[in-house]
Structure 1
Amino acid sequence: MTEFTPFVRKDMLEPRDPPGNQQGPIAWARENLFSGPMNTVLTLLGILAVGWLALHIIPWLMHSVWNANSLSECRAIIAQTWGPDATGACWAMVRERWHQYVFGFYPMDLYWRPTLAFLLMLVAIAPVLYQSLPRKMMWFTALYPFICYWLLWGGTLWAPIVVLAGFGLFALAFRFAAPKLGVPVSAGLGLLAAAVWWLFVQTPLSTALNGIIPLSIRDVDSDQFGGFLLSIVIGITAISASLPMGILLALGRKSDMLLVKSLSVMFIEFIRGVPLITLLFTASLLLQYFLPPGSNFDIILRVIILVTLFAAAYIAEVIRGGLAALPRGQYEAADALGLDYWQAQRLIIMPQALKISIPGIVSSFIGLFKDTTLVAFVGLMDPLKGITAVVRADINWKGIYWEPYIFAGTIFFLICFGMSRYSMWLERKLKTDHR
């Protein structure tokens, strides 16, 4: 009979590294680039395409010229430095005309006003984007649109103050009427009071106050706006105004009140069924016919209104999708807590729906900001088509093609990429599940 001697290991074995073909770049390439015949062929074709582009783009960028007064001078410098057959980018155009891309035809001695408005905008949106900042900063956020308008367009300071007083009148009417008449009726009365104030009291009162205490700065016409100043003004205003309008339209479409639901559905479907360029032509040409004779409705303001309505219809559908994704138990929980409709929407329903809808909302915002280039079709100088056409019409830069579009496209990419990165950060921050 064979005897067995038990063996118990006293020391742990040192861990060994996995084989080289199962970790590191080789394993990643095998799994992602060469996992099969089709993937291998596509990878090789992609490498060939990237290599072909690099062979043409890198020398063009390496031969860039930053100091020149014309395109012909750029080409002469490239030929003298890298040979007669060399090609290169002429970024001297950007160096000479950057102020038009940024400010359009805004007076150069007043560049401090849009610059100050932009810096104040960063302060105003900070408490909206980052919840850790003091909530008292929201007061400045509410006042910023009036400050920005006065800085950009100029004129008397009393005009935005009197307009702001109309919103104060709406708030007072809503506050005193809401306990007795309910939210919808009170909101209607507040809007009526504010509309009467803006239509019949605003202009005479601001003119009288400016005559007593003149507080004004130099006026700037809307046709002097252009470049990224115009795109940011239209884009940021439309983004800020379209989100609350989209929320109301989404709630209206899901409302049990037939009239409210019907009006919301008709508005959303009509706006979504019409191209944006059609609405811009309406703002530029047709809207003036419906105004009283002699009225002067600023073209940029008309464009902002129509772009805002267009974006609100799309955002309403995005938010409606978020509302539809919520389980019925959330509504029942709000009813069990004894909350009325508006309290339930503000505290329980809408925060969850907005969190679900963040990707769609930000996608709509990015598309809206890029669509601001369409204002070129109504005579406004956007940075991509309007300002580029002006620059290329100059005899010194006639014939330049790629550089202005690459420069404007890069700025658009940086802004839109920043919006998408913030969206992803906000999604991670608001993520409550651990899956």
Structure 2
Amino acid sequence: MKKFKFDYIQIRIVLIFVLLLCSTGFPQKINSSELICKIIIQAEKELPPNTPVSIPIDNYISRLSASSFILEKIDNSLRLKVPTQIEPGEQSKLWWLLPKKINAGEKQVFDLVHGTPQIAPLVQINMDSDGLEIHYKNRKALRYQYAPLKPPTGENPLYVRSGFIHPIWSPGGKVLTRIQPSDHIHHMGFWNPWTKTEYEGRHIDFWNLKKGQGTVRFVKFNSLETGPVFGGFEALQQHVAFDSTKGEKVVLNETWQIRCWAPLSGNNKFWIWDFFTSQSCASLSPLTLLKYRYGGFGFRGTSDWNERNSDYLTSEGKTRKDGNGTRARWCNVYGKTDKGNGGVLFISHPENHEYPEPMRIWPQGDVFFGYCPVVYADWNMVPNESYVRKYRVIVYDGTITKDEAEQYWYNFIHLPQIDVKWFSNK
């Protein structure tokens, strides 16, 4: 295998603070000189455990060293230490996961105090010459293929592809994606090309690779991050048009941001990861995404799934029989495998183009799902603009009810009310 040289990789070993989930059985008084801030989270609706929450810390980060504080949840006389992680940037944030459920109308109180946390990152990145894997405590979550993957023996070399996710693993180790199936060799697990486009007077298909009109390629990693609360990467990809006379031309630059959230307390049922994509024209030429029934991100389900043992359920109550072409805030794709039940819940963000987005759902046969914002209308991408789409992905073993799916959707798009009181001795 060809070894790839990672020029320009910024490995962001973010400021991480892992705090053992433990508590004392006796009341503990916090000296006022130790208290940095008090945080109160109010729940309008129920907030389940493992919900990601954050506070801005721009005004204070310069005064805090990388190992100088601990977050504690106040529970009557008990103080539960909670892992935290700083996301640096123009608006730096302190992230953590709710250790316990907050019922609707109730609150949780946290103290941020001076102290030395114990460091033990939980979300890790493993890389080889072909791909990048994200692990939770040595359990695999997903693999991003950055090296070009050749097609099966005897197939057209135009099917070579990079810049996709496969496998997606459930927490119990079930592989829920499939690549290069014989019926659609261009299907690549979880991937994000456009199908019917117009560029500089030509029709370009980045999806159906055998046409030889275009493809999508990995270019480089902009950043990698690992820590006790989340881990992931940002990758640059390019949508490339082929021309037999002029050669290749980059049409779109695209960044993928994948962030996986660490489950607390050894939770084995599900984990959460976010997929944010930002696309922009690579030249002064615009790109028109023409109205078509599929295009955008696609998900090809495991070969274990078929129309007899799998189904879809959307936020509007649609299924395999009547879901294709309809709009939905979320779609649950699920079925049976050789290891039991499992599935993937896809959640679309209200800021996405054409929200609630139309969907491509195969009504028969194997499982294919995709949000496709161009089902009913063209979409013009012009130079000097960025086009962002945001999705949350819940990968799980067992089952998820409609009410649970609604709760995951609500918690993705509605931030809870968080009140912070900073103390003068911070």
Q: TM-score range by the shorter chain?
A: under 0.3
TM-score (norm 2): 0.27
Could you say which structure has the higher strand fraction?
A: 2
